[in-house]
Structure 1
Amino acid sequence: MVSPHGILLATHIISSSYGEQCSKVCDCLLRHGILSLAQIIRFTELTKESVVNCLRVLFNQNCVQPFSSQREGGFGEAPRIVTQYIVLFDNIIHKLRAPKFMQIVSEELGSDCLNIFHGLIQHGRLSLNRIIERNEQTTGKTDVQVLKESFNRLLNFRFIERCPSPEPFLAPQDNEEPPVKKRGARRGETQEVLTVEQRVLEAATPMESLRFLVDVDFASEEKVEETHAKVTLGKKRKSEAMVPDEDVMGAGEKKEVLWRVNYEEFVRRLRDKACISYVKTRLNDEASIVLSAILELSKNSTVRHKVVESAYLSINAIYDEVIKKDGGIGMDFDHIRASLAQLGCTCSSADGEAYSIDLKGITDKAQSEEVESVVLKRYGREAYRIFRLLSKAGRFLETDKISDDTFVEKKDTLKILYKLWKDDLLDMEKIMLNGGKQVAFLLWRVNKGPLFEKFRDEMYHAALNLRLRIIHEQEQAKEVRL
């Protein structure tokens, strides 16, 4: 579920970029979840033509992903395929980060690549022919070979990718099947349960050999894409009785291969940069160099949906990468092992000396410290000590223990705890003990999941207020000039 201010921010972004009707369709999908075309028409009270046009705009801007699923028919009726639509909230928010993404491309690849990238940011999805035409219109350059080289550089850096399938088929999930083990998972480790959105995106994503394909005969791309579609959707052949809904996105038409910005790569880079900076500040330079080497080695093997830990890497591979970094030439194996211990890496001797780092642990610590700094500013130092104790404990603690460990008077401790609980920063649990008389014990803890969501919603609120303020200032400036 998207937070309330997240919905307001997303709809404002769509409204300011693509109009009120697109914003209304986006708001409908954000509030109601996965919907069919008929349901969107009913909730928005727009005409069918308007809804279809809005969905096409949002689809081309990578903000909506259609998918088809099987729906059982009534008595004596064959199953049919229903097209549904899911809004991609993260992709909408990424539009705010477009200037940062363009800065990265400009610094690393130069102006020629930036011009292609800017076109994809602006239009969402473009074929190679449209990229060539736009480049001629904006720069006046007609050297197709130079443009293709720039295009290939963007692909090699994974800044762009092939667009996903326009309407993947989501097979029904069998709840009776046992949990599947992850590829390369340790004993007893089961596969993470994916959300519907993650399953749809996974079904729509081209196979890795095609997603960033560079050496390709562009004249024959359609044939390759058709082959991929058969592989992706060919788990079960649809029966003739299964007739799909109306082709709103035009998925059935024969089209060129389309390309788009790979937001995933930019988010990974920014996340890695933040983790390295955090480790450098909290530990030391050597630990940040080792972490940078691990992230560089495992950048193409991390889990797509949620990065939890890196792949296992041999100590020799880590050493070879460390000595390439600035400041890493003087580090030997002992220094690297010490840094790996500081980073909390787990060691496996199954394939020699190999290490994996808990990336989620680093990001959770960084997020916790950000929240703690906000608590310090809002509630004072005593509340900060209490909150930090509970955050590090990760479990329920009794009031007297909190008071003793933080050196805060019990009366003041209770006031602070109630204030934090009232503001939804803490969970409280009351335990009644029946002895000679009833005695109540209050237990307190920090529940980081809802807490991080609360602060994320506050950031969305702040971003929305800032955008509204900027628009207000711009309108006032126009009035003054007039």
Structure 2
Amino acid sequence: MVVPQYGIKFAVHIITNHFGDRVAKVCECLLRRGPLNRPNIKRYTELTDEQVKNSLLVLIQQNCVQAFIVEQLGGFGDEPRLNTQYVALFDNILHRVRFAKFLTIASQEFDKQCVELLQGLLEHGRLTLKQMFERAKSSEKEGTSVVLDSVRESLSKLATAHYVERCPAPEPLLMAATEEETPARKRGSKSSKLVEEPETIEQRAVAAAAPVETLRFSVISTDSGVHGENNDNNLTSITVGQKRKHNALESDESRTADELTVLYRANFEEFIRHLRHKACIETVRARLDDGAATVLGAMLEATRSSEQKVKTRYSVPLSLGSIYEEVIKREAGRNMTLDHAKASLNQLGYPPLVKESNGSYSIEFEKIIELAQNDEMESVVLKKYGRDAYRIFRLLSKANCLLETDKISDITFVEKKDTLKILHKMWKDEYLDMEKLFMSGARQSVFFLWKVNKTTLSRYVLDEMFHAALNLSLRLAHELDQEKELLNLPADRRTGHLLDRYNRLKKVRILLESSQMKLDDAIMLFHYF
């Protein structure tokens, strides 16, 4: 789908807050116009070549722009020309508001040093191992010391869990674009794709730049091996004597070069997968019970490593015994019997959130996310139009077909006049599709048929969410700017009415920030999961 207009405005607002107006101007140009080379960016933004260059360097450093080289066919008898272009990575820009969530996830699994290392990568975008060490060294407290090996070990832990990866190639080569290729601005919502869309040039550039899987999550270790998921495949035997010394010297040189040149960054994909799992578990908990949520959580954990490598709509099938073995590892599952776990799996089978085949069970991710999306859309309708509209919308959403006005009125017990008024208002706001049916006879009659078009509606709701997220962010910035002088005052001088104002600002800030976090959870449901 085309990136919603308020999605672009929100992304530009994020970049403006983080890097200033000039960098945001270059970013907005790429978001609205698609891939461009430097001369065209300069022409559209009316900035100098140096300003454009510096802005692009910032955006690339922060993983918000990917450079790539396109081979353009020359004229008759001319050689093909290579042209460097730049494309904005919309999703990566939005991830910047989720850094606190990513750090919370890491803090639940790793020690303080790992979390601090990840925080450095999120703040600086890309760092070498040497830069991570220097950063850790500069922040160490008196009486403590940071060893390079301990930083490398922390990096290896994060890479093994896929939370950190090697950076993509700076300028991968793409062959000449074909006519079938869609503009870079267009992308599909993962939850609403009915058919596979052609790859955009943005997707091709990202795929071409990605490191090969054997290197993506690897870190050179002190013993010349490679830490990460491919450790076993990269260890080689070393013969004795001169060959051992020669190999040791080569490995030292290679390791030093790696520390100075290989760049690492946070792997947003893995954090989003973790948040998707959390959303699935909470959806099941709300619809079924804690037992079903515990079993689903166990299945997600058991299939996590395979899901990291292959993206499918189903998880890897698991036997009942394998699922129960994972269930009892969890605190919430230690009081569950095998029969209880099987009963929870049966619950998850109606509606089919977990698919059973020949005694094996696999998770249907799309079904769970669709349920969560429906709940979110119904919640929006309830708040915006009231309880009668909520009942009407829910009926149409479940029916998944055209229904006539009178039938809707009869089923929902809403007066026909009110039903028509509600339906017309929701249709006008693009929440419903409407068709007219003309019946000829003694007197021509017109019947109105209504249905929910979930694909269209999800796009509209997503744009509304981006609009709300932008408004919340602007409101928070306004509140903080209004009380700038108060915030700069020392704490001991905030007394009397100044203290009241400060406490009021604190409450407003907590409210707005918590609303932003909840709204972002909803945005991820429609845009990433």
Q: TM-score, normalised by structure 1?
A: 0.83
Does the aligned pair in 2 maintain the 1:307–1:360 contact within 8 Å? no
Q: Deviations over 1:390-434 (max 9, x none)?
A: 111222222222122212222221111000011111111223344
Q: Secondary structure at 1:368's aligned position in 2?
A: helix
Map of 2:218 onto structure 1: 213
Instruction: Give 1:274 deviation, angstroms.
Output: 1.6
Query: Deviations along 1:422-477, whole A, 9 cap, x unmatched?
Result: 11111112233444454322221112223222222222222222222222222222
After superposition, the Cα gap between the structure-2 partners of 1:407 and 1:124, relative to the gap in structure 1 and judged at 3 Å, is same
Instruction: For 2:308 and 2:219, locate their aligned partners in 1 and report how far apart those are by CA, in whole Å.
Output: 23
Match of 1:341 among 339, 349, 354: 349
2:525 maps to which residue? none
> Are 2:435 and 2:448, in contact at CA under 8 Å, matched by a contact in 1?
yes
Q: Does 1:104 align with 2:105?
A: yes
Choose from 262, 266, 273 the match for 2:271: 266
Please name the residue that 1:204 is paired with: 209
For these two proteins, the number of residue pairs brought into alignment is 435
Q: Distance in 2 between matches of 1:343 and 1:128?
A: 48
Q: Is 1:170 aligned with 2:174?
A: yes
1:230 corresponds in structure 2 to none
Deviation at 1:28, TM superposition (A): 0.7
- Give secondary structure in 2 for the equivalent of 1:443: strand
Task: Please tell me the residue identity of whatever aligns with 2:39.
Answer: A
Q: Which amino acid aligns with 1:107?
A: Q
**Equivalence for 1:415:** 421
Deviations 1:340-359 (A, max 9, x none): 4236122334xxx3332211
Amino acid at match of 1:338: N
Q: Distance in 1 between matches of 2:294 and 2:113?
A: 32
The 1:343/1:205 distance shift into structure 2, 3 A limit, reads farther
Structure 2 SS opposite 1:76: coil
Q: Does 1:158 align with 2:167?
A: no
Alpha-carbon distance between aligned partners in 1 of 2:267 and 2:451, rounded to the nearest angstrom: 39
Which whole-Å CA distance do the structure 1 matches of 2:469 and 2:434 have between them?
Answer: 31
In structure 1, the residue corresponding to 2:108 is in which secondary structure?
A: helix
Greater Cα offset, 1-10 or 338-347 = 338-347
- 1:85, 1:356 → 2: CA distance? 40
What is residue 93 of structure 1 aligned with on the other side? 94
1:78: Cα distance to partner? 2.5
Amino acid at match of 1:118: Q
Shift of the 218–163 alpha-carbon distance from structure 1 to 2, 3 Å rule, reads farther
Counterpart residue number, 1:18: 19
Structure 1 gaps, min length 5: 177-188, 222-253
Match of 1:442 in 2: 448
CA contact (8 A) 1:290 1:339 kept: no
Please state whether the residue corresponding to 1:108 is helix, strand or coil: coil
* CA separation of 1:268 and 1:110: change in aligned 2, threshold 3 A: same
Flag the 1:286–1:142 CA change in 2: closer, same or farther, 3 A. closer
Structure 2 CA distance for aligned equivalents of residues 154 and 265 of structure 1: 11
Q: TM-score, normalised by structure 2?
A: 0.76
Cα distance 1:85–1:446, how it changes in 2: closer, same or farther (>3 A)?
A: same
Q: Is 1:129 matched with 2:130?
A: yes
Counterpart of 2:232 in structure 1 is none
Distance in 2 between the 1:308 and 1:446 partners? 24
Query: How much has 1:13 moved relative to structure 2?
Result: 1.3
Whole-angstrom distance in 2 between the partners of 1:368 and 1:207:
38
* Kept in 2: contact 1:67–1:170 (CA 8 A): yes
The amino acid that maps onto 1:146 is S
2:146 is equivalent to residue 145 of structure 1: no
Moved more, 16-25 or 191-200: 191-200
Contact 1:314 1:355 in 2 (8 A): yes
Hey, what does 1:324 align to over in structure 2? 329
The amino acid across from 2:350 in the alignment is Q
* Structure 1 residues 264 and 449: CA distance shift in structure 2, 3 A: same
Q: Distance in 2 between matches of 1:219 and 1:361?
A: 46
What is the letter of the counterpart of residue 452 of structure 2?
V
Among all aligned residue pairs of Structure 1 and Structure 2, give the percentage whose two residues are the same amino acid.
Answer: 49
Cα gap change, 1:458/1:175 in structure 2, threshold over 3 Å: closer, same or farther? closer
Shift of residue 35, structure 1, vs aligned partner: 2.1
Counterparts of residues 51-450 of structure 1 (less than 5 Å): 51-139=52-140, 141-171=145-175, 193-214=198-219, 216=221, 256-302=261-307, 308-329=313-334, 330-332=336-338, 334-335=342-343, 337-342=345-350, 344=352, 345-349=354-358, 353-450=359-456
Query: Take 1:43 and 1:83, find their aligned partners in 2: how far apart are those partners?
Result: 17
Aligned CA distance change for structure 1 residues 118 and 283 (closer, same or farther; 3 Å): same
Quick one: distance in 1 between partners of 2:223 and 2:19? 31
Counterpart of 1:23, as a letter, is: A
Deviation at 1:381, TM superposition (A): 1.2
- Answer yes or no: is the 8 Å Cα contact 1:198–1:305 preserved in 2: no
1:336 Cα deviation after fit: 5.3
Q: Aligned partner of 2:357: which letter?
A: S
Residues 20-78 of structure 1, C-alpha deviations (whole Å, 9 max, x = no match): 11100111111112222232222112122211111111001000111223322222222
Give the conservation status (yes or no) of the 8 Å contact 2:349–2:356: no
8 Å Cα contact 1:343-1:357 kept in structure 2: no
Distance 1:257 1:135 in 2: 18
Q: CA deviation at 1:120?
A: 0.7
**More moved, 467-476 vs 51-60:** 467-476
Q: CA deviation at 1:263?
A: 1.1
Q: Quote how far apart the aligned CAs of 1:257 are.
A: 1.1
The CA deviation at 1:215 is 5.0
> Quick check: 264-273 or 136-145, which moved more?
136-145
Distance in 2 of aligned mates of 1:218 and 1:443: 71
Distance of 2:84 and 2:31 partners within structure 1: 17
Which residue is equivalent to 2:516?
none
Task: Give the conservation status (yes or no) of the 8 Å contact 1:161–1:261.
Answer: yes
Indicate if the aligned counterparts of 1:312 and 1:356 stay in contact, CA closer than 8 A.
yes
**Matched AA of 1:165:** A
Q: Kindly provide the CA deviation profile for residues 100-136 of structure 1, in whole angstroms up to 9, marking residues without a partner as x.
A: 2222223332321122111111110001011111111
